[in-house]
A and B are shown apart, each in its own frame.
Chain A
Amino acid sequence: MAKSKEKIMEIVFLLAACVSILAVALICVFLFANGIPAMKKIGFADFLLGTTWKPGNDIYGIFPMILGSIYVTVGAIIIGVPIGLLTAVFLAWYCPEKIYKVVKPAVELLAGIPSVVYGFFGMVMIVPAIRYNFGGTGSSILAASILLGIMILPTIIGVSESAIRAVPGSYYEGSLALGATHERSVFRAVLPAAKSGIFAGIILGVGRAIGETMAVIMVAGNQARVPKGILKGVRTLTANIVMEMGYAEGLHREALIATGVVLFVFILIINLAFSIIKMRSEKE
């Protein structure tokens, strides 16, 4: 009796463990089954490379949105990575323990703030500031990049800091013993050794930025055309789905789901790159 109970519970635990496999399988099946037919109907090339998005005329080209996602992500990386990386260096090699106890939870809190609150902050603070200083509407690639740059900070800082800490102390000491300054030792001996871990952090940040939805919608302007400058509005893949899903029907709706498929494939590629780099850094 007791033995069969043990066996039954083991199977129960096994089933629970298989739920995440089931979830991923269901997500893939439902997204692809609903998105791929629409892509076929529209034509893969027309859908992915078409520069016009006019659901009223049944023209569905998501190239502007793909570009939009790439632009704001690159912008976020340009702003977020240097600040994040240097902050990670600060946490690992500069700050006294007392300051660490304040800064570290603050960085974690940055990760916990909901994206709508970020978006709202961008809407009432960053967008007007850009409008005031540079003209235009303010809702722009620049606004989205700044906001996303702040939002990916905790990811970059967290992963980079642990990568930097994983470098053996002897690297630093050896460099110091050769007469290098503290800065030179940290940046020329320790950081290069933590390279792949830091890179993994950046890729994770790219994933966050490309998948972010609500915050971007609130500051990016959302015009579905190829943007002509960083002060112009832009629509990302994620924004495209949320903006129009509410009233879309028929092929329009399917085209939006197909947009989700494109986003999902992007994320899968990024995830794959992340795990490959992480594996490599663990081997080192």
Chain B
Amino acid sequence: MENIQQAAKPSAMMNEAPMNHLTLSDRLKSYKRTPGSFLVMLLVVLSAVATIAALVFLILYILVNGIPYINADLFSWTYTSENCSVIPAAINTVIMAGISLLLAVPVGIGSAIYLVEYAKKGNKLVKVIRVTAETLTGIPSIVYGLFGMLFFVTALKWKFSILAGAFTLAIMILPVILRTTEEALLSVPDSYREGSFGLGAGKLRTIFKIVLPAAVPGILSGVILATGRIVGETAALIYTAGTVAKIPNSAFSSGRTLAVHMYLLANEGLHVNQAYATAVILLILVIGINALSSFIAKKISKA
């Protein structure tokens, strides 16, 4: 927030101080003297407009083409090649997100606690952990998919299964949760910890009763962000969780998530209308998840 105000300062100053007051026509006049600057300003504004236009166009195009094809058939309980139901894929997505989060959240929070609360400055191990976490962030999802296929599917003999997919995704979202939790813990003022220690609480009690509760909104917004990534992921899942369009019997059966479902529909080319409708559902889900995450993040910055 501070940054925004800082950036807005030049124009705000001009508005407030009457001595340097610049009206729109003054500005235009000064641009007349420096046509080069005017051109640059135009380019800057046009670029921003182009960015927003790309987003708006993409969303509107998919909504307009997809909404007419959202019908009851699309939500049948079982999938057939005629109705292209999204329900099995949607249920798989929820299960997949649930298991991945169950795996990644405790580990992510635990490692963030270690980095923030326990590790001493200049610790070599901490440096290694940071470098590896950053490496994990940069690895593309197809490499995760390959690794999941080699390790969970082949080496551990889990076959194409929800579990193999969930473990792969858990590694993928681990750095997201680690980073957001770390930031949330760092933003808890030290006076909280000192107060707790001063009252005679041990380190563990301080972490669980004082620091973590204060950091919950930040952690939550990270978890929701990670959920968004799980929902949108395709490349890491095709060769780990497989592409069976059924509600799974167990964690060891194969199942496609919504994003994989959408990819297969679009790639077959036979059900383009249903692919549009699925894209609408996926878009609404992701926009909702994003909005929720930034809503929570905003709440923290106010508190």
Give the B-binding residues of A (Cβ under 8 A): 2, 5-6, 9-10, 12-21, 23-24, 26-27, 30-31, 34, 82-87, 89-97, 100, 103, 105-110, 112-121, 123-125, 150, 153, 157, 165, 169, 172, 176, 181-184, 187, 207, 210-214, 217-218, 238, 241-242, 245-246, 257, 260, 263-264, 267-268, 270-271, 274-275
Q: In this complex, which of A105, A106, A218, A257 has the most chain B Cβ atoms within 10 angstroms of its Cβ?
A: A106
Is B102 in the interface zone, CB < 8 Å from A? no
- Knowing A6-B204, A108-B294, A113-B58, say if A30 contacts B107 (CB, 8 Å): no
Interface of A is mostly: helix
Is B199 in the interface zone, CB < 8 Å from A? no
User: Which B156-194 residues have a C-beta within 8 angstroms of A?
Assistant: 171, 174-175, 178
Stretch with Cβ within 8 A of A (4 or more), from B43-51, B81-89, B215-223: B43-51
A94 CB contacts on chain B under 8 angstroms: 41, 44-45, 48
With an 8 Å Cβ cutoff, the count of chain B residues facing the other chain is 96
- Knowing A12-B110, A96-B8, A242-B238, say if A112 contacts B287 (CB, 8 Å): yes
B151 CB contacts on chain A under 8 angstroms: 26, 30
Please tell me if the beta carbons of B114 and A121 are within 8 angstroms of each other in the complex. Answer: no
A21 CB contacts on chain B under 8 angstroms: 128-129, 132
Complex CA distance for A26 and B40, rounded to whole angstroms = 50
User: Which B70-125 residues have a C-beta within 8 angstroms of A?
Assistant: 106-111, 113-115, 117-119, 125
Please tell me if the beta carbons of B111 and A20 are within 8 angstroms of each other in the complex. Answer: yes
Please tell me if the beta carbons of A31 and B146 are within 8 angstroms of each other in the complex. Answer: yes
Complex CA distance for A241 and B148, rounded to whole angstroms = 14
B232 CB contacts on chain A under 8 angstroms: 112-117
A169 CB contacts on chain B under 8 angstroms: 6, 9
Give the A-binding residues of B (Cβ under 8 A): 3-11, 30, 34, 36-37, 40-41, 43-48, 50-52, 54-55, 58, 61-62, 65, 106-111, 113-115, 117-119, 125, 128-129, 131-136, 138-147, 149-151, 155, 171, 174-175, 178, 202-204, 228, 231-235, 238-239, 259, 262-263, 266-267, 272, 275-276, 279, 282-283, 286-287, 289-290, 294
